[in-house]
Amino acid sequence: MAQEKTGKKIIAVNRKARHDYFVEDTYEAGIALYGTEVKSLRQGQVNLKDAYCKVIGGELFALGIHISPYEKGNIFNRDPLRDKKLLMHKREILKLQQYVTRDSYTLIPLSLYFSGSNVKVEVGLCKGKKLWDKRESDAKAEAGREIERAAKSRGRRGYDQD
């Protein structure tokens, strides 16, 4: 769990989303949770891997976010895969719904974090990548890593000669 300069304490990041989708825009949303779910989040027991968002009846819901049951929660624990309501302004939700229905975008939760004492979700407006797009992204990342390795090894040789 990393701490950023902005006061956000990151709980979980959906790394698969950036691999499978082009992220066009991001939005911040609150999330309606129960007490035992928040305690479980503080322990970092959450999985965003297969999660997505859907507008149902004018409200935004996150489906597929798995929050493990809190071990000391007994009868107060909720279903780990229940649909979680996301809290956003109505006009933002309507705008996102238009993108999803008209332009074939997908809403994906990119990260979950604490902003003060509140839990927030970063929702990405995403377009799906094709297989060749994924290969191209992987090739660019590999080329960047090769450049970094070459720069490091060149830097080491310079220090050895002193």
Pairing type for strands 118-128 and 21-31 reads: antiparallel
Count of alpha carbons within 13 angstroms of residue 118, beta-carbon side: 11
Please write the tens of the pLDDT for every residue from 49-97: 888 888 888 898 988 888 877 777 677 677 667 788 889 999 999 988 8
Q: Is the pLDDT of residue 45 over 70?
A: yes
What pLDDT does residue 6 have? 62
pLDDT of residue 162: 45
Q: Taking Cα atoms as reference points, which of 89, 72, 65 lies closest to residue 11? A: 65
For 19, other C-beta atoms within 10 Å of its C-beta total 12
Dist CA 4 CA 1 (whole Å): 10
What is the reported pLDDT for 5? 53
What confidence tens digit (pLDDT) does each residue in 109-147 have? Answer: 998 898 888 889 998 888 877 777 778 888 888 888 888
Please give the pLDDT value at position 2: 53
Instruction: Tally the C-alpha atoms within 13 A of residue 76's C-alpha that lie toward its C-beta.
Output: 12
